[in-house]
Structures are given as structure tokens and as C-alpha cells.
Amino acid sequence: MDTKSKNRTRRHLRVRAKVGGTSAIPRISVFRSNKRVFVQIIDDSAGKTLLSNTIEPEAKGKTKGSKTETASLIGEMLGKKAKEAGISKVIFDRGGYKYHGRVRALAEGLKKGGLIF
């Protein structure tokens, strides 16, 4: 592991020690790869993933723009899915990444979709 990923893992573990989701207020976990952004809405008390961004194929045809625009669209779609599932309040876990670029676009898309952080 290089230093950059070690530092991110360390930051993520430090945040995870304090942040946890419940059935009333689940946690949104973000993983950012070089190509995509993966998002899960998790109930940590039950140890279950409630929703994830399996709706990404729907987003593929709708955006021809950058990865940031795609992340925003995915956030909006997942926010709407969460509202349909009865989830309105969440805790945002940025996974040790900076709140910048794709992570920020995703968060703003989730807020546009109707979720409250």
C-alpha cells in the first residue's frame, strides 16, 4: 500500500470509530475508484445494506459529461430511491476522502434527491 491509500484508510477508520448508522438514521458510505463512485446506505446496528447504487446503468445513458456530473446524477437518483424507501435523514460518511470533487457532487445530488444530512 502506498502512503496515500494508507492515510485514507487511517482517516476512514478514525471516522468509523465515531460514526454509525441506525435503522432510523442510516449511514451513507462512499467509495471512490478511478472510474466510478460506489455508494451504500447502511444500517450498522443490523449490519445490513439498505440501498446501493445499483441504479448506475440507468445513469449511463443520461450523462455524457464528466465523472463529477455522473456522481451528481447518481446521488440524485439514489436520494429519490431512498425517499421512496422511507429514508429521509442520513449520516454522510465520506470514506476518508476530501469533501471535494466527486464526493461533494454526490453529496449535493443526494441533497437534491431529498435527503437530509
Full 3-state SS string of 80-92: HHHHHCCCCECEE
Structural domains of the chain sorted by starting position, each given as residue range(s) with its CATH number in brackets:
3-46+57-112 (3.30.420.100)
Sorted by sequence, the CB contacts under 8 Å of residue 57 that are 6+ apart come out as none
Q: How confident is the model at residue 22 (pLDDT cuts 50, 70, 90)?
A: confident
pTM: 0.87
Closest residue by Cα to residue 101 from 66, 76, 77: 66
Q: Which of 80, 78, 25 is nearest to 54 (CA)?
A: 78
pLDDT at 55 over 80: no
Question: What distance in Å separates the CA atoms of residue 55 and residue 40, rounded to the nearest whole number?
Answer: 12
Provide the pLDDT for residue 23: 82
Q: Is the pLDDT of residue 60 over 80?
A: no
Give the whole-angstrom CA distance, residue 29 versus residue 2.
Answer: 22
Cell numbers for 75, please give them.
446521488
